[in-house]
Structure 1
Amino acid sequence: MALSVVDLYRDVLPKTNCGDCGYPTCLAFAGMVVSEQLSLAGCPHLDPAVVERCNQELGAQYAAGKWTKRDLAEDALQWARERSASMALSDLPQRIGGRLVDADGVPALELPYYTGRVIIRDDDITRADGESLTRWEKVFIYNHMAQGGQRMPTGKWKGFEEFPNTVSKVKTMAKQVEVPLAARFQHRPAELKTAAIRLGGEEVTGQGNTADVAFLFHPFPRVPVTLLFWDEDPVDGFAATVKLLFDETVIEHLDIESIVFLSERLRQLLEDTDEKET
């Protein structure tokens, strides 16, 4: 029989809220035992026989994934792998770019990724330089493979909010990407330029835009991104602003969640590149 948080609190724990387990209440401790697989033996007031009996029941529900906190990154990675499993590596160069290579005797796709390259095999994705990829980066790349797009960029740029089904993510884009970048590089346009160049960006300031700084990035061969930066203008009362633009074909190559991740990763890389420079 499975043990819920309420079961543990009501039927097993002393309900004294003594704090000896390191948590302020018995209910909080019960929640950690059930969802985070914290050892029940952390409560020093339980009989060992009771702990042993409960551990058998808890072990069974942990194995079944009942009430445990999910590893969202691992779940997303498994889903993305399954989504891209039907994609033949031999078809990918024509669809998303890159070239077929032999990776230690295994067929693989070598795909440009910012200033580096990733190696895509049937069983995994790694960086060619040996640096590690995060699980979310792998999710993003698998989704790019699976999306099915093959059109080359057209050069027609759109803001994120102009694409369908982005209403729920527009605030996330602003909060997680555009506002932090504007704050980080306010009064520091030269630092932004240095960071962008180190990330492989091509300066396009003044080329059809009014931004103080504008750079074109190529995270993937067929997924360009333009970053526009306007510095603060206290005289006219304008705050520093950042705007990301995407080619109109981006939704053929990435789903909406992946576009947001791409943008968040661009922000992280610009910040990291800037920190390394300073």
Structure 2
Amino acid sequence: MTPFEIVKRTPKNNCRECGYPTCLAFSAAVAKSGEDFGKCPYLDTTGLNVLQPPQGVALEELSGQRDQVLIEHLKDKISTLEFSRIAAPLGASLRGDNNQALSFLFLAQEILLDKQGILLDGHPPDDPRDQILLYNYIHSQGGPDPALDWIGLETLPNSISKVRTLATYCENRLAELFAPLSAAAIMAACRALGGTPHPTPSATLGCIIPVLPKIPQYLVYWESEPDEGFPAKVKMLFDRQVLHFLDLESLIFSAERLADRLALELA
């Protein structure tokens, strides 16, 4: 079956519950790289057993194929955008011949993005998920400056199933990483990523880190209290307007990348 045959079986409302930005992107991944069609809770699955991943194909290979399909889909989506119009709402600068490229920072790394590809600190990204995140950010076309009205992930629509993912790949990792360190060492690592202190009552430290120009994330850390039986804890908070710029999957991955970068700074 083709992606267009599959998309007819979806609600075509781009609800993103499957983790893809559009119903068509999900359908393309199912048809071309064996994505699990069960990720769409609304799909009419009658007769779709033929689309199960072929036997003998490594899951890693399927994942890589799926990522590449989505990258090509997103590149096609941004190909019609006028970079001169969306640069300012994205917090980006125009670069290149005839201003056909965008430049901005991603966790203190320089991004140069045009309609053919992406350079991260002068090199193609090693992980296709970085490309997906960055193309999704560009595809949003930007919006107003962050309101700095902070909320937990659980407050965002359709996010309940994602809370554990955020804890596993970001919050719990950082709490374990921070536990033996001084607040000064942690803050120095945050500052290296462009972070600014933002103290909060009762917490050991708070810092706002600009993951992307319009995607600040507020990291709040409580050191352990062994006498009280409380382990170290990290809570990530997001600007209330964040879904204007990223879908939930990309948002969680951006927080995971923040954890990765802090781990590198503290190594």
TM-score under structure 1 length normalisation: 0.70
Does the aligned pair in 2 maintain the 1:81–1:142 contact within 8 Å? Answer: yes
Q: How many residues align?
A: 209
Residue 94 of structure 1 corresponds to 88
Matched, 1:232 2:232: no
Partner of residue 58, structure 1: none
Residue 125 of structure 1 pairs with residue 125 of structure 2:
no
Q: C-alpha separation between the residues in 2 aligned to 1:72 and 1:181?
A: 29
Name the counterpart of 1:202. Answer: 196
Q: Are 1:69 and 2:58 matched, yes or no?
A: no
Give the conservation status (yes or no) of the 8 Å contact 1:83–1:143.
no
1:235 is paired with a residue whose SS is: helix
The residue aligned with 2:24 is none
* Pair 1:131–1:260, CA change in 2 (3 A): same
CA deviation map 1:219-275 (0-9, x unaligned): 222111110000100122211110011111101011111101100000000001111
1:159 shift after superposition: 0.7
d(CA) in 2 for partners of 1:272 and 1:166?
Answer: 28
1:256 aligned partner: 248
Q: Residues of 2 paired with 1:273 and 1:72: CA distance?
A: 31
Cα distance in 2, alignment partners of residues 155 and 106 from structure 1: 31
Per-residue deviation, residues 100-142 of structure 1 (Å, max 9, x unmatched):
1125x77211122222321111111112x32442321111011
SS in 1 for 2:174: helix
- 5 Å-filtered alignment, 1:210-221, equals 210-221=202-213
What pairs up with 1:1-278 in 2 under 5 angstroms? 31-32=55-56, 35-36=57-58, 69=62, 71-102=65-96, 107-127=100-120, 129-133=121-125, 134-188=127-181, 189-206=183-200, 209-275=201-267
Task: State the one-letter code of the partner of 1:181.
Answer: L
Tell me if structure 1 keeps the 8 A contact 2:118–2:124.
no
CA deviation string 1:154-212 (max 9, x = no partner):
11111111111111211101111101110111131333222212222112224xx4320
CA, structure 1 residues 106+152, in 2 after alignment: closer, same or farther (shift >3 Å)? closer
CA distance in 1, matches of 2:260, 2:109: 16
Q: Deviations over 1:10-43 (max 9, x none)?
A: xxxxxxxxxxxxxxxxxxxx943xx25xxxxxxx
Among the aligned pairs, what percent are the same residue?
A: 26
Query: Secondary structure at 2:96's aligned position in 1?
Result: strand
Measured on the aligned residues, the alpha-carbon RMSD in Å equals 2.0
Residue identity opposite 2:145 in structure 1: M
Tell me, in whole angstroms, the C-alpha distance in 2 between the residues paired with 1:86 and 1:264. Answer: 30
Say if 1:87 and 1:145, in contact at 8 Å, map to a contact too.
Answer: no
One-letter amino acid of the counterpart of residue 114, structure 1: L
Radius of gyration: which is bigger? 1
- Give the AA of the match of 1:166: S
Contact (CA 8 Å) 1:81, 1:139: kept in 2 or not?
Answer: no
Quick one: distance in 2 between partners of 1:84 and 1:160? 27
Query: Counterparts of 1:212 and 1:146 in 2: how far apart (Å)?
Result: 37
Normalised by the length of structure 2, the TM-score is 0.72
